[in-house]
């Protein structure tokens, strides 16, 4: 047995390693978008999102304060301009707020890393400039030298990881934001909730009839539902749009609710029936003997017992309607664009603002945040539903 045990431990190391690799590959794309949504436009443009996780080395250019206003006469014909480049440029609010550290600096664009921090640069004829790691500078010289515009300082800085929630504020709360993601968010919610609740109710009654009532044609109906499970909804687009126009619904919420109800029913009935068939026969028969009507049996016994299956389907239908694009485009969104949903907004943005990753990444995350929360909190029911729906 030693032989087997030995192999096992070697293999188990490989298993951990491969599983880790697989998880990283699967998480990395989403992580990239999440990190990007917390970066500023400049950060996104200047480096890949993975760089945001580490201190970034970047080159920046600053200017000292204006000599005409800030120079101090030290006597003996020597003048001084002193200050802090980060504070004066607004990169830091005050001296305690400086997060960047200067690694090298220079006084000319041809040699931007000529000097170390604290080193004093000789600019010729007695004019000197020194810069500390924190960005404090001193610029000395004669009245002729310390005048005109401020001296330029080229720095190579190491900036710590820096994240902002400004993108989210923009996308969600800025009233002038023409992407209108918050409006689309509420529109999506408006589509989703009725489209989740109504099919459950209709399906539950039908599933009960198919599971526990005897009538001719039952097997045929179940077979039909299994068949309808896989009918592509693409086939339904034109006929139903025509129908909606003919009966006066047109494009709008009512249409999209009805469509989602119709398209969700086969899976709902199928899942619920499979679950209800497994409920103990004695419970139902005892209730019948005790004189309960079928309606009472259904509402008092079957519905409460079927809660796990109802929850499974509710999650499916919620995710599906929240994430849907096609049905909303065909049955809901009219030319006014007032009823647009988030998926549609995202597609639009990819077309018109494909380069503005801060807006795109943030909007995308707003739209996938809710499903992710639902997913992680109710995963148990989702898995149970998948197993009931697929493995026969």
Rounded to a whole number of angstroms, the minimum distance from the CB of residue 75 to other proteins is: 49
Rounded to a whole number of angstroms, the minimum distance from the CB of residue 294 to other proteins is: 6
Q: Is the Cβ of residue 137 or residue 257 nearer to other proteins in the bound state?
A: 257
Q: Is the Cβ of residue 71 or residue 344 nearer to other proteins in the bound state?
A: 344
Q: Is the Cβ of residue 107 or residue 368 nearer to other proteins in the bound state?
A: 368
Task: Give the torsion sign (CA, 14, 20, 22, 24).
Answer: negative
Q: Yes or no: say if 107 and 160 are a contact pair by the CB < 8 Å rule.
A: no
Rounded to a whole number of angstroms, the minimum distance from the CB of residue 375 to other proteins is: 4
Q: Cα-atom radius of gyration of the chain, to the nearest Å? A: 33
Rounded Cα gap, residues 100 and 129, in angstroms: 20
Q: Is the Cβ of residue 214 or residue 290 nearer to other proteins in the bound state?
A: 214
Residues in the chain: 392
Q: Is the Cβ of residue 148 or residue 337 nearer to other proteins in the bound state?
A: 337
First to last CA, the chain: 38
Residue 335 φ then ψ, to 5°? -70, -20
Q: Yes or no: say if 327 and 338 are a contact pair by the CB < 8 Å rule.
A: no
Q: Yes or no: say if 309 and 276 are a contact pair by the CB < 8 Å rule.
A: yes
Q: Is the Cβ of residue 72 or residue 277 nearer to other proteins in the bound state?
A: 277
Rounded to a whole number of angstroms, the minimum distance from the CB of residue 304 to other proteins is: 15
Rounded to a whole number of angstroms, the minimum distance from the CB of residue 317 to other proteins is: 13
- 55 by Cβ neighbours in 10 Å (0-12 / 13-18 / 19+) ranks as middle
Rounded to a whole number of angstroms, the minimum distance from the CB of residue 10 to other proteins is: 10
Q: Is the Cβ of residue 30 or residue 286 nearer to other proteins in the bound state?
A: 30
User: How far are the Cα atoms of 192, 250, 273 from residue 258, in angstroms, in the given order?
Assistant: 12, 12, 22
Rounded to a whole number of angstroms, the minimum distance from the CB of residue 180 to other proteins is: 13
Rounded Cα gap, residues 185 and 345, in angstroms: 10
Rounded to a whole number of angstroms, the minimum distance from the CB of residue 357 to other proteins is: 7
Q: Mark 325-352 as b/e (b = at least 16 C-beta within 10 Å).
A: eebbbbbbbeeeeebbbbbbbbeebeee
Rounded Cα gap, residues 317 and 328, in angstroms: 14
Q: Is the Cβ of residue 81 or residue 332 nearer to other proteins in the bound state?
A: 332
């Amino acid at each position: 047995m030693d032989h087997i045990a030995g192999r096992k431990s070697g293999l188990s190391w490989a298993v951990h390693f491969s599983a880790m690799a697989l998880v990283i590959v699967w998480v990395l794309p989403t992580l990239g978008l999440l990190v990007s949504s917390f970066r500023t436009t400049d950060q996104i443009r200047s480096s890949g999102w993975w760089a945001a996780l580490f201190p970034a080395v970047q080159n920046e250019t600053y200017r000292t304060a204006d000599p005409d206003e800030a120079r101090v006469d030290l006597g003996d014909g020597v003048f001084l301009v002193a200050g802090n480049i980060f504070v004066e440029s607004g990169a830091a609010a005050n001296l305690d707020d400086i997060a960047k550290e200067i690694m090298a600096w220079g006084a000319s664009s041809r040699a931007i890393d000529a000097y170390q921090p604290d080193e004093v640069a000789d600019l010729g004829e007695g004019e000197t400039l020194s810069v500390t790691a924190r960005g404090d500078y001193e610029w000395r010289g004669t009245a002729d030298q310390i005048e005109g515009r401020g001296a330029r300082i080229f720095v190579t800085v190491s900036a710590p990881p820096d994240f902002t929630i400004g993108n989210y504020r923009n996308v969600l709360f800025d009233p002038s934001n023409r992407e209108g993601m918050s409006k689309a968010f509420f529109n999506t919610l408006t589509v989703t909730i009725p489209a989740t609740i109504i099919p459950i109710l209709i399906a539950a009654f039908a599933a009960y009839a198919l599971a526990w009532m005897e009538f001719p044609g039952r097997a045929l109906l179940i077979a039909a539902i299994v068949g309808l499970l896989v009918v592509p909804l693409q086939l339904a687009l034109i006929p139903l749009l025509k129908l909606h126009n003919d009966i006066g619904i047109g494009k709008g919420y009512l249409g999209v609710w009805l469509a989602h109800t119709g398209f969700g029913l086969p899976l709902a009935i199928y899942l619920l029936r499979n679950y209800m068939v497994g409920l103990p026969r004695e419970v139902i028969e005892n209730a019948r003997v005790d004189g309960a009507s079928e309606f009472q049996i259904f509402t008092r016994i079957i519905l409460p017992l079927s809660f796990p299956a109802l929850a499974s389907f509710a999650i499916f239908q919620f995710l599906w309607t929240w994430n849907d694009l096609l049905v909303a485009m065909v049955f809901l969104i009219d030319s006014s664009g007032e009823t647009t949903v988030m998926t549609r907004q995202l597609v639009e943005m990819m077309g018109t603002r494909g380069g503005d990753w801060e807006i795109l990444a943030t909007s995308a995350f707003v739209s996938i945040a809710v499903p992710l929360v639902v997913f992680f909190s109710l995963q148990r029911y989702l898995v149970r539903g998948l197993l009931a729906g697929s493995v026969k």
